[in-house]
Amino acid sequence: MTRRIRVMHVIARMNVGGPAVLIASTMRGLNADEFDCRLVTGYCAEDEADYLLTQAPDISATRIDGLGRSIKPWADASSVAAVMSQMREFRPDIVHTHTAKAGVVGRTAARLVSRDIKVVHTYHGHLLHGYFSPAKTRVVTGLERSLAHVTDRLVSVAEQVRDDLLAAGIGRPSQHEVILPGVDLGPLPPREEARATLGITGSGPVVTMMGRITGIKRPDRFAAAARLVAASRSDVTFAVAGAGDQADALADLVSDLPVHILGWRDDIETVLAASDVLVLTSDNEGTPLSLIQAGLAGIPVVATNVGAVRTVVDDGITGVLCEPDSTAVAKSLERLLDDPIAASAMGERAREAMTSRFGMGRMIIEHENLYRRLLA
C-alpha cells in the first residue's frame, strides 16, 4: 500500500476568522486515503475566540507555547525548536504555513529539518498595507522576500493579493498561484426567528458588521458611519457579530446608538438571516469570508474598496464598494436602505456569483492537485 502524503499545517493560532475556517475545511475535505494531515498551532489570546474549541472540535491539533499572536524573540526561537521536533516525529512531505508569524517559524523549521520537505505558504492577506509604519513595512517586506527563497509555492487567496506581493518583489511569478477560498453555509432560519434569537426587535432594516473587532477592521469607521445613518434613518438597527481587542472601545463609541453587540457567534446563519445589509469597513483585506457568506445568504454588502475586496464584490451588481471613509460608507448604506428592491436584486446576484466562484469542492481539489504536483 502506498504511503499517504503527509501534510503539516502550521499557523500561529486558530482564532475565529478566515484562515482558521479554510484550514479546517481543507483538512476535513482532503481525501483521507491519500493524505495524512497534522495541525500545529499556538494558543489564542484572551480577547479571541478559539475556532477549534467553538466550531471545529473534530480537528485535532498540537499546541505549542509561543506560537501565538505576540512576537517575542526568545519564545519565537523556542517555537522554531518545538515545531522542528514535531516535524521530525511526523516526517511531513509538505509543510504548509499560514499567516505571517507562523510563516517565519514554520518555514525556518522546515528548512532546518530537511531540504527535501516541500514548503507552501498561503497568504490569506498580507501585511504590506495598513498594519505598520513605513519603516516596519519595509522590514516585513524584506523578510518575506527572504522567506520566498526557501518556499516552493506561494499561495494567495485572491489575484489582487498575488499581484501586490509580486509588485513588492516577494517571490517569482512561477512560485505563485491563486486558490480562491471555498465556503459553505448551512440553511438560514426564518428572519423573525433569527431576530428573536439575537434579541433584535422591530421590523426595520438591520445592518451588520461581522468579524474580528480589531484595528485593521476599523470599528471606529463603522461606528462613525452608523452614527451618520442613524441620524437620517431612525428605523435602522445595527448589529456587530465578533470580538477582539477593540470590542470594548467600539461598545463605548456606539453606546447611545441602536447597536447590538453580539460577541462571537457560531451560528453565522442566524446572524445573516437577521440582516438586510452586511458592512465591511476595513483598511485592508485578503478575500473576506464574511462577504462571501453574506452573498451565499443573498445579502447585499457595502464594503471599502481595499485589498482584494473587489475580487468578491462586483460594484453595483452584487454590492457597493466605497472609499475607506465613514461618510462614503454611510452614503453607500443609505443607497441600499433607501432602495430595498435594488438591494434585494443585488443579494440574489451575489448568491449566484458566490455559489459559482467559491465552492468548497473546487478549493479542496485545487489543494490536492497542488500537493500532488509538488511531489511529482
Residue 49: per-residue pLDDT? 84
Question: What residue ranges define each of the domains in the chain, with the CATH number in brackets?
Answer: 5-182+359-375 (3.40.50.2000), 191-357 (3.40.50.2000)
- pLDDT recorded at residue 75: 67
Task: Note the pLDDT of residue 131.
Answer: 59
Predicted pLDDT at 307: 87
3-state secondary structure at position 248:
helix
Element housing 370 (H / E): helix 360-375
Spell out the per-residue pLDDT of the chain, length 376, in tens: 578 999 999 999 999 888 999 999 999 999 999 999 999 999 998 878 899 998 899 999 999 988 876 666 666 789 999 999 999 999 999 999 999 899 999 999 999 999 999 999 999 977 666 556 778 878 889 999 999 999 999 999 989 899 999 999 999 999 999 999 999 899 999 999 999 999 999 889 999 999 989 999 999 999 999 999 999 999 999 999 998 899 999 999 999 999 999 998 989 999 999 999 999 999 999 889 999 999 999 999 999 999 889 989 999 999 999 999 999 999 999 999 999 999 999 999 999 999 989 989 999 999 999 999 999 9
pLDDT of residue 181: 93
- Model confidence pTM above 0.95: no
CA contacts within 13 A on the Cβ side of 151: 29
Closest CA to 342 of 296, 289, 302, 306: 302
**Could you give the count of Cα atoms lying within 13 Å of 22 in the half-sphere of its Cβ?**
34
* Contact indicator for 4, 58 with CB cutoff of 8 Å: no
Helix, strand, coil percentages (3-state) for the chain, rounded to 5, are 45, 15, 40
User: If you search the block for the grid coordinates 467553538, which residue do you land on?
Assistant: 54
pLDDT number for residue 135: 82
- What is the SS3 string spanning 231-276? HHCCCCEEEEECCCCCHHHHHHHCCCCCEEEEECCCCHHHHHHCCC
